[in-house]
Amino acid sequence: MSESKPNCETLIPHLVCNGAAAAIDFYKKAFGAVEHYRLGAGVDERLMHACLSIGGQTLFLADDFPEYCGGKASSPLALGGSSVTIHRYVPDCDAAIKKAADAGATVKMPAADMFWGDRYGVIVDPFGHTWSFATHIKDLTPEEIAAAGKAAMAQHSN
């Protein structure tokens, strides 16, 4: 009998989408995702489950099924946004953001050099999920990051 779970702890984001099949296509185009499998619901075009990998990391997704959740939708589009950001370190965050935008994402925060030593930017995909991208550009001590963060917060509070 095969083992049904990884032999180590792992954290796998499981995204709920309005249009999971279209989301798979977007993630392939925007992020170079590899599709491992998809499972249809059997009653309509919605997907019960799909497994992708992006940059070697696993991502699950499914369509929204409010009829099985007390009538409550749970996709970011249905909820008006998401409180979760999926963060990716990439070799070139500017290129990653451009590729996502070219595929249909909305740039929420263009890439910029940040006080903690990363170049960083944020997009929202067409399904309402927020993604941030970073490229490490400078090594800083915790004290340097704290001082730079304090200065950045003071600048924005004026």
At 65, list the tokens.
Answer: 């099924």
% residues pLDDT > 90 (the chain)? 85
What is the reported pLDDT for 137? 96
CA distance 65 to 48: 8
CA distance 59 to 6: 14
Residues 6+ apart with CB under 8 A from 131: 85, 86, 87, 88, 100, 105, 122, 123, 124, 125
Stated pTM of the model: 0.88
What is the reported pLDDT for 8? 62
Q: In the chain, what are the domains?
A: 10-81 (3.30.720.120), 82-158 (3.10.180.10)
